[in-house]
Structure 1
Amino acid sequence: MIYTVTFNPSLDYIIQVDNFTVGAINKTYFEKILPGGKGINVSIVLSNLGHESIALGFMAGFTGNEIENRLKDYGCGTDFIQISEGLSRINVKMKANEETEINGQGPLISKDELETLYAKLDQIKAEDLLVISGSIPSSLPDNMYELIMQRLSNKKVKIIVDATRNLMKKVLPYHPFLIKPNNYELGEIFDVELKTRESVIPYARKLQEMGAVNVLVSMAGEGAVLIDENGKVYQRQAPKGQVINSVGAGDSMVAGFIAGYLESNGDYEKAFLKGIAAGSASAFSENLASKEEVNELLKNA
């Protein structure tokens, strides 16, 4: 089974206005509400590609109920922990002459509620896949990623991590099955600027030397680079297409990689190609990648 963890899920309220004016009434001409969060995005794309997953995390109030209902509409399995007080956050993403985001705080999570999450994670079996990604709420320990990986270290769970540089660096000693920085995040870790696929390779190898099993680096229009557990390098330019919405493209790449890995019985090249196709399909669409869109891009891979 595949599990995803989203510590601070959201309802993303996406709006567009012609010209945003501070202090005035601004009317929208486009509105959409989507369930948000990196792990949630991975679960949605996995479902679109025909793979079951169980989304874990914390939910609160009517916004939490709506997030869960919308996930079920996508065919995703859920096992969220209901927080007794507060509301799951609403993130406003406004597109005008510039793009503006206002992100909510989310509910406070108690020690007992965190222990409930640990109990659910303890049920994960050997060879299951676990995706942990996204930000950590201020009410949780800032080393949540490490605590989870340490807790599961003897269970042979394949853990995929997609996080900012400090969170990612700290989990490397626990040998995550896959990490997925983008080229900017990879550059931040080593204080360098990485613009080409070739320049990424030596620094991705360094992350592998520090403990990662497989390293997948996303590079937007430049494509991606994968260094697999055997040291083999795969690199590919992104498919051609018009970028409509880059939100969730990296999460879609993770989902595509997992789907390709499972469907090919561990063939890293096929996993890599499906990851690129899924990431690009999401970027070329207003919604997250569909199976048809991914397969269409794979035809020319």
Structure 2
Amino acid sequence: MIYTLTMNPAIDLFCQTTHLIPKIVNRTNNDDVQANGKGVNVSFILKKLGIENKAMGFSAGFTGNYIEESLQEQKIETDFVTLKSGVTRINVFVKDEEAATEYKIVNSGPEVSPEAQKELLEKIKMISKGDFLVVSGSLPQGCEPSILIEIAKICQNNQVKLVVDTSYHEVLDLLPYQPFLLKPNDEELELWFDTEIASTTELVKYGEKLIDMGAQNILLSLGEEGALYLNQTTKLLGNAPVGEVVNTACAGDTMLGTFLAYLMKEATFEVALQEAIAAGSSTAFREGLTDFSDTDELKKQIEIKNWRE
């Protein structure tokens, strides 16, 4: 079983206007509401690929209920900690057509008490040996990054395969607990190692450092350049297919969910990486998560090869 953990989920409200003018009523031409959060997206992708999973996290108020109900409508089990106050955040994205620009308003979300955090950790302790826990996204108010290390300790003790997709510098501190997979991007590598990375060779070098520090596998997303996969013995590079990028926000979540799904199907790393790049690109080429209708065609553009300097 795969469990996804989204500690700071959100409802994303997308609006499109002809123009956005201060101090007047700006009416929208189109709008859409989506349950979101990185782990929530991974759950949706896993389900689309036939992989049963359970979504965990913190939920508050009517907005939290909406996210849980959206997951349950897709036959995804949920096991959220319900907060006693506040509401799960709503983020707003407004596209101004005349100005050809987008405004992004991202809220902080509710305060999570120490008691609620303890309840979440107790739930994590109940995950069975050999199962996967995917920890994705930002932390809510009240949660310090040290909770990631607590989760890593639990997973190592209980032989749960931990997957981490978050940008906090403390990710480096959980590496001694040997997470199964990290999914950084190039910007996060630069942040973690306080450096500028100018080439694929350097990306591989810093990916290898993460392996040396304890990570078992690295899935490194490179945006329009594709992705890298590394472990102790394998280094694979895949290019990205060509297409018009519409929205990159959920592409990484799609890549991660697809990669894990194909590992669960006992695919080779080469196949899993190709499928993951195709699916992530498909999401980037549309407004929402991929429906996988175009991934077979996109795969024809993707070559997976062993990395050599």
Place the TM-score, normalised by the shorter chain, in its bin: over 0.9
**Which consecutive segments of 4 or more residues in structure 1 shift more than 4 A?**
none
In the other structure, the counterpart of 1:53 is 53
**Partner amino acid for 2:212?**
E
Q: Is the 8 A contact 2:180 2:215 kept in 1?
A: yes
Inter-partner Cα distance in structure 2 for 1:164 and 1:170: 12
Write the letter of the residue equivalent to 2:254: S
Q: Are 2:32 and 1:29 equivalent residues in the alignment?
A: no
How many angstroms apart in 2 are the aligned matches of 1:117 and 1:288? 28
Alignment check: 8 A CA contact 2:211 2:218 kept? yes
TM-score w.r.t. length of structure 1:
0.94
Any conservation in 1 of the 2:109–2:141 contact (CA below 8 Å)?
no
- Which residue pairs with 2:40 in the alignment? 40
Code of the residue aligned with 1:289 in structure 2: it is T
Contact 2:263 2:269 in 1 (8 A): yes
Name the SS of the counterpart of 2:59 in structure 1: strand
| TM-score, normalised with respect to structure 2 | 0.91
Within 2, Cα distance between the matches of 1:119 and 1:31?
39
Which residue, out of 157, 162, 167, partners 1:164? 167
What RMSD over aligned residues (CA atoms) do the two structures have, in Å? 1.7
Instruction: Tell me which of 163, 176, 179 is aligned to 1:176.
Output: 179
Displacement of 1:195? 4.8
**Cα displacement (A) at 1:75:** 3.0
Supply the AA of the counterpart residue of 1:293.
D
Given the alignment of the two structures, is residue 217 of structure 1 paired with residue 220 of structure 2, yes or no?
yes
Of 183, 188, 193, 1:185 maps to 188
Shift of 1:199: 3.2
Identity %: 38
Counterpart residue number, 2:12: 12
Query: How many angstroms apart in 2 are the aligned matches of 1:260 and 1:295?
Result: 15
Contact 1:256–1:271 (CA under 8 A) maintained in structure 2: yes
For the Cα contact (< 8 Å) 1:197–1:235, is it kept in 2?
A: no
The answer to whether the 8 A contact 1:43-1:76 is kept is: yes
Separation (CA, whole Å) in 1 of partners of 2:246 and 2:75: 25
- Shift of residue 196, structure 1, vs aligned partner: 4.1
Instruction: Letter of the 1:286 partner, please give it.
Output: E
1:250 aligns with 252
Deviation for aligned residue 1:69: 1.2
- Once the two structures are superposed, the pairs formed by residues 107-126 of structure 1 within 5 Å of their partners are 107-126=110-129
In structure 2, the residue corresponding to 1:152 is in which secondary structure?
helix
C-alpha contact (below 8 Å) 1:274/1:298 kept by paired residues: yes
1:278 CA displacement = 1.8
Q: Choose 52-61 or 106-115, whichever is displaced more.
A: 106-115
Shift of the 61–165 alpha-carbon distance from structure 1 to 2, 3 Å rule, reads closer
Structure 1 residue runs without a partner (length 5+): none
Deviations 1:117-172 (A, max 9, x none): 12211111111111001111121233111111112212221111011140322221
TM-superposition CA deviations, 1:262-291 (whole Å, max 9, x none):
1125x2222222221221111112111223
> Unaligned stretches of 5+ in structure 2?
303-309
- Counterpart of 1:277 in structure 2: which amino acid? A
Q: CA deviation at 1:299?
A: 4.8
Give 1:258-277 correspondences, 5 Å limit: 258-264=260-266, 267-277=268-278
Q: Which moved more, 1:246-255 or 1:291-300?
A: 291-300
The question of whether the paired residues in 1 share the 8 Å contact of 2:155 and 2:161 is answered with: no
Partner of 1:208: 211
